[in-house]
Structure 1
Amino acid sequence: MDKPADDRRIVDPVILALTQNRLDHICRQMGWVMSQTALSPIFSQAHDFTCFITGRDGHIISQAEGLPAHAAGGGFAVRALIKAFGEDIAEGDVFLMNDPYVAGGNHLPDWVIATPVFVGGRLVAFACDRAHQSDIGGGAPGTYNGEATEIFHEGIRLPPVRIVEKGEIRRDVWQLLLLNSRTPELLDGDLQAMIGATRVGSDRIVTLGSELGITAIADIFDAVLDHADARFRQVVAALPDGVYEGDEHTDNDCFAPGRFNIHVKLTIAGDRLTIDYSGTDPQMRGFKNSPIANTYSLTYVGLASFLGGDIPINEGTFRSAELVLPPGTLVNPNPPAAQTMSTMYMGHEIVHAIWKALAQADPSRACAGWGKTVHGISTGHNAAGEPYVLYHWNALSGAGAVAERDGFHQIGLLGALGGLTVPNVEAYERLYPIRIHRHEIRCDSAGPGERRGGAGVEYEAEVHGDVVQSFRSEGLTYAAAFGVNGGGEGQGADMTIASDGQLVNDLPAYGKRSLKNPVFKVRSAGGGGWGDPRRRDPAAVARDVLDGVVSIAAARETYGVAVDGTTGAVDAVATARLRLAEAAD
């Protein structure tokens, strides 16, 4: 456990800052190793992984590389490992875990590798990565089983297990893992990449510890957490005391329409926060329930992205935030509730609810909503008879705007905050039996505003052969891309699919369909806008018109800007008349 603050040594602030930067750089180095050595495009192309470092007690001290939704809950996994193995942790060991109920997991496909770091024979840290595996068994290829009603339908469950013992791979455990994957070659290579990345991180931490000394590094790690705690308390204390509430919902339980609500009551009292999820609906039948580690993680994403700035992000940051998570609800389900979709949804809803509550405390920092996604997973066998799992990342949605900037185009997953990378089209066509016919910005999909939302895309792709399609079409009926402070909503998504030339009717939000030579046509959702569109700089509107983000008609009708479609020049006189007429109305 952390030492009481009064018992800790004072650390030179310069040494503290340099050490924090060095730890962050070690996380980035681990990330570079992951992306360069992994076999799966989920790692090498989309970068669906996170590297982080914890102290000896399992509290995150650096998470500089990867997806925020992954790392923020990583400490739960390492603390589950420490609880399971106690003092039975040796140099050269490596541990693996994924289960959300006993191993601090956020959802089953994200596996955590944790390598203990020893300096002078003493445990000082854990070098870790959490990464989404291509396939871990379960009822659907690619693991997202929209028909799951309990966790046993979703893939192999792993408590903390020792996968490397004193430098030697445990071949029995390794074979067990490969046997439970439809893509064992990818899993084999990716696990080796994950272990290799944590070994690189471990070596760098050993060097750091040898330079600073065993006692000093422990004190500095504690000071890193204390500093983040103090900075976040300053930010919270600057907000007005009060009780602020926010709601967001999903409109289905993966099987039928309905309203399933996340409710947040956020209480600010001095430099402390209480985030109470009482009033959130009971856990659902489908696989969107959010286990504790995921709910903590996405709550932290919502707080940090709204209040961020120069606040260090580690587990000390959120000591002053108390979460109330009623058991048996969407944010703290009782086992064996299904939960694989939770990192996306309920993750999306949790962040939106936090943002809506915080916007009441500080409207100037309000964040517009991000569009929900419709991209699914195609699985099958290529011409060589090898299995593949293809994520249609190129059909992602747009992000919401904030006061300082427009929303990002085609960035999608809210919990990733842009950390996922849209794969290169040419690389995808080389790796998979796919031909992408169209991939471009969707005009007028972005929510209008003084700061414009991010645009969605128009995506058309053909997958060759027999395909099992796993649908994850959350955004088809409810985009959730709300505008703030006078900004407009982002446009919702739509999708058509043809199988062997015949249109597929009644596309499910979730579930599986067998298709032949399917052609996908997707118009993904845009993000919400921030502020009155009539206050947007006419030059920015003209640039959007030239970029195909905004049409000439929308520029005139929504933004009050007259743009020459040939030259892209703003007609200043006509624009002034349009805006004066609007003001008069």
Structure 2
Amino acid sequence: METAALNPVELEIARNRLESISEEVGTALIQTSYSPNIKDRRDCSAGIYGPDGMLISQAEHIPLHLGLMPTMIKNALATYGADRLVEGDVLITNNPYLGGSHLPDMCVITPVFWQDELIAVVANMAHHVDVGGITPGSMATHATEIFQEGVRVPPVKLFSQGTLRQELLSVMLANIRTQDKTRGDIMAQVAANRLGERRIHELLEEWGAERFAQSTHALVGYAARRTRAAIEQLPDGTGTFTDSLEHDGNQQRDVAITVTVEVSGDELFVDFIATDDQVDGAVNCSWAVTEGCVAYVIKLLTDPTLPSNAGLMEPISVTTREGSLVAAKFPAPVANGNIQTSQRIVDALLGAFHEFAPEQVPAASSGSMSIMTIGGFDETTGQYFSYVETYGGGQGAMPDQDGASAIHTHMTNTRNTPCEVIEREYPLRVEAYQIAENTGGDGRYRGGDGLIRHLTLTRGKAQVVAGTSRVTTAPWGLAGGADGKPGSVIRHGPDGDEHRESMTRFEVQAGEGITIQTAGGGGYGSSPAAE
């Protein structure tokens, strides 16, 4: 359709009103969810989409979710058939091969009708603490196929004309350990979308359907113009860079991510074809994750205020190879693809940009979301428990300032779980939670330090999965800055401390525990003392 001319004031009003609805949906989900992973850590995202899945607005939540959700929403609507939806329907899916991330990230999609016409879609995504599979927390590093990672849900109606399909929900929950929390979190997702639906109806009462459509398309065009202008500020050039994962989930070995980026005028071309093939372990990711990383990096390097809607990717072309690590195909396991691989995709992109635009690129950050899951059956409560948390690390130093310490970087943007919440919700005791001093790389500007968390199981037994990276490698420094210090994983057992691989799993008994130390960020520039 033709884009109506909105003057700058009208455009800004439309942008803020639509973004505020997305923010309110996310806030409602956080405030009504059951699990600490959503209500405390805020591992969720929300947005508004057009009837065909065109991204209209997003809340400022998790870059990884926000980058891949447009692909997932569009494919989910196309797969199910938007023409089959009626008022009161709600879809649910977690299928990574439609553009999702991994199975714990359940996406709830609510169509918005106005005068019997599908006007928009409200959607949110949240990481559930368990969706079945071979380990509690559903984040096994050693899975060799998607079936081992949990229940996979194609786009199906969770609600039909306003009525919960109880039998479908029962089938899902029968495959999940933490049934009460999962059911509560799913219902919170549904309720949050209903709030977004009401807010859009309020907007439609004021604007009407035609003005709503005109405004959304005008915002997409505005974002495309802004993005083209931002890309044009980068120097023209081409760069190629290879960075590697150090572990494939089953064994310690290098798995290369190779990317070529080219800036030509106001367009960006990104090519991942030379990346290694998908692997047997759970570090593969969908092409939508890869595209989300590209969207994030262009905002990082140019203008973080670029609007997050469909226009952002209009001047950007991303090429991947089906069956590769960064565009995995069925039945590749993907649980840790966003935890590990998305962060390394960002590192590879930054390395490529540094070859022709060095003044915009920071040193490498800690390089992993560093996830820990601890779960089992608690005999005291008579219920399964699943503790899930990702940990911050050192931020890479920038050309003009130090990196921050113990912070989530790049594709993750969650909070931490307070120590008091951990000890209240789970049979765990927090022995230490502190900054890992002097782990950031030296330089004119210093990389941020990583963090240390030491947990002990207080009763019973549990399975632990600790997935981190930069244990045998280090986040690289730039322009003479030193590399950050690597991380570590330690199992505290009856026979003493045991250093483990970066992607590890084991059982613990009461009194035993684990420590993760995340890597420090790389430094930037030669330190004054070395000059």
TM range (shorter): over 0.9
Counterpart of 2:403 (choices 377, 382, 407) is: 407
What 5-or-longer segments of structure 2 have no aligned partner?
none
SS in 2 for 1:344: helix
Q: Normalization by structure 1: what TM-score?
A: 0.87
Residue deviations 1:63-117 (CA, integer Å, cap 9, x gap): 123101101111122212321223111111111111122x331221111111111
Residue deviations 1:94-151 (CA, integer Å, cap 9, x gap): 11111122x3312211111111112233212111101111111111110011221111
Residue matched to 2:259: 264
Spell out structure 1 runs of 4+ moving beyond 4 A. none
Q: Does 1:116 align with 2:122?
A: no
Q: Does 1:93 align with 2:89?
A: yes
Residue matched to 1:14: 9
Q: Does 1:310 align with 2:305?
A: yes
Residue matched to 2:426: 432
Residue matched to 2:386: 389
CA positional deviation for 1:392: 4.6
Residue matched to 1:448: 442
Residue matched to 2:236: 241
| CA pair 404-386 structure 1, distance change in 2 beyond 3 A | farther
RMSD (Å) for aligned C-alpha atoms: 1.7
Residue matched to 2:365: 370
Contact 1:77 1:97 in 2 (8 A): no
Following the alignment from structure 1 to structure 2, what is the Cα–Cα distance between the partners of residues 438 and 478?
A: 25
Q: Normalization by structure 2: what TM-score?
A: 0.95
Contact 1:302 1:350 in 2 (8 A): no
My pick for the range that moved more, 318-327 or 403-412, is 403-412
CA positional deviation for 1:506: 5.9
What 5-or-longer segments of structure 1 have no aligned partner?
535-559, 561-581
My pick for the range that moved more, 78-87 or 28-37, is 78-87
Following the alignment from structure 2 to structure 1, what is the Cα–Cα distance between the partners of residues 446 and 201?
A: 47
Residue deviations 1:435-491 (CA, integer Å, cap 9, x gap): 112212221111223332221123222122211111313332223x21123322211
User: Aligned partner of 2:87: which letter?
Assistant: E
| CA pair 209-452 structure 1, distance change in 2 beyond 3 A | farther
Contact 1:72 1:315 in 2 (8 A): no
Following the alignment from structure 2 to structure 1, what is the Cα–Cα distance between the partners of residues 73 and 95?
A: 12
Following the alignment from structure 1 to structure 2, what is the Cα–Cα distance between the partners of residues 450 and 34?
A: 43
CA positional deviation for 1:498: 1.7
| Count of residue pairs brought into register by the alignment | 526
Contact 2:363 2:398 in 1 (8 A): yes
SS in 2 for 1:244: strand
CA positional deviation for 1:520: 2.2
Residue matched to 2:51: 56
Q: Does 1:292 align with 2:293?
A: no
Following the alignment from structure 1 to structure 2, what is the Cα–Cα distance between the partners of residues 356 and 91?
A: 48
Contact 1:429 1:436 in 2 (8 A): yes
Residue deviations 1:505-561 (CA, integer Å, cap 9, x gap): 462433531211222233321112223332xxxxxxxxxxxxxxxxxxxxxxxxx4x
Contact 1:251 1:478 in 2 (8 A): yes
Residue matched to 2:100: 105
Residue deviations 1:393-420 (CA, integer Å, cap 9, x gap): 4x5322212235432221245311xx21
User: Aligned partner of 1:299: which letter?
Assistant: V
Residue matched to 2:478: 484
| CA pair 380-332 structure 1, distance change in 2 beyond 3 A | same
Identical aligned residues as a percent: 28
CA positional deviation for 1:181: 0.6
Following the alignment from structure 1 to structure 2, what is the Cα–Cα distance between the partners of residues 522 and 336?
A: 30
Following the alignment from structure 1 to structure 2, what is the Cα–Cα distance between the partners of residues 489 and 510?
A: 21
Which has the bigger relative contact order, CA under 8 A and spacing at least 6? 2
Counterpart of 2:522 (choices 519, 528, 553) is: 528
Residue deviations 1:27-81 (CA, integer Å, cap 9, x gap): 2111211111110111011111111111222021211231011011111222123
Following the alignment from structure 2 to structure 1, what is the Cα–Cα distance between the partners of residues 124 and 196?
A: 10
Q: Decide which structure has the larger Cα Rg and report it.
A: 1
Q: Does 1:464 align with 2:447?
A: no
Residue matched to 1:513: 506
Residue matched to 1:36: 31
